[in-house]
Amino acid sequence: ISPDTLTMFCRDRIKSGQYQIFCPMILENYRTCNAHWPLDTEIRDSALLSAEEEEEFRSAMNENLHRAHGEKPCPRCGNYVQRRLESDSNRVTCPGCLLQSGAPFAFCWFCLREWRAGESLP
């Protein structure tokens, strides 16, 4: 596999939402190898990624990881927040904002707009 082909393969996997890359090689028994390929060693070195490509992959894989765990970025500080499963409210409070500014910041889980008292959000 050439470096360009590996780069295209990884980019395709990342665009499909994966946050880890696994070897797709078919073994003798018709099973997939499925060995984990770490970005900072295997992929970077074998695909000959530039620093910009490595950062692009790392950022996209990180975003995919957060999405896979049901997290969204806070619209104020950018820290990732997870909605409580038992909550039936669309209101989410960011713990990162509370730690950084000392004041709580609440926003709508769906539209990511600031939640204001008395305002009707989805």
pTM of the model: 0.75
Provide the mean pLDDT of the chain: 90
Residue 115 DSSP one-character state: P
Please, are residues 38 and 29 in contact by the beta-carbon 8 Å criterion? no
Residues of the chain with pLDDT under 70: 85-88, 118-122
* Type of residue at 78: G
Rounded distance between C-alpha atoms, residue 86 and residue 81, angstroms: 15
